[in-house]
Amino acid sequence: MSDTYTLTVRVDSYEFSGEFYFVGEGYGTGEEVLKHVATDHILAMKQRPHVSEYLLETLQKGENVSESEYRQADSDVSCGLHFDVDHQEFHFWVGDHEVEIGVQPTRSELRSIAEDLPL
């Protein structure tokens, strides 16, 4: 059986606040989820001139799941990503551990942060 993860993506701005939920397989640690899933979301958010473009793309791809499906998932690891649009701040958490991510993170910086996460 492959590793299963859940990821909550929370976006906050003056114009919009909401959460999206993802359930996937293949990653069973916070390090892996940050490296292979959350990094893609962070880079997509920071590359769009408006967060609404990221939100629309996410919904159109249909990778997100309902909150009830998310809550029913039997995951090996549960993680979250928070993006404060107005302050351009990213936070990632796994379990009780939260890390602040810089304003303009690169893929290599995100990989380094992921490697420092506790198992």
Q: Where are the domains of the chain?
A: 4-115
Sheet strand arrangement including 97-101: 17-25, 4-12, 77-84, 89-94, 97-101
60 confidence band (pLDDT: 50, 70, 90):
confident
Span 37-56, pLDDT tens digits: 999 999 988 888 787 888 88
Contact 107, 34 (CB under 8 A): no
pTM over 0.85: yes
For range 87-100, the mean pLDDT? 91
Element (H, E) at 100: strand 97-101
CA-CA-CA-CA dihedral for 36, 39, 41, 42, to nearest 10 = 180
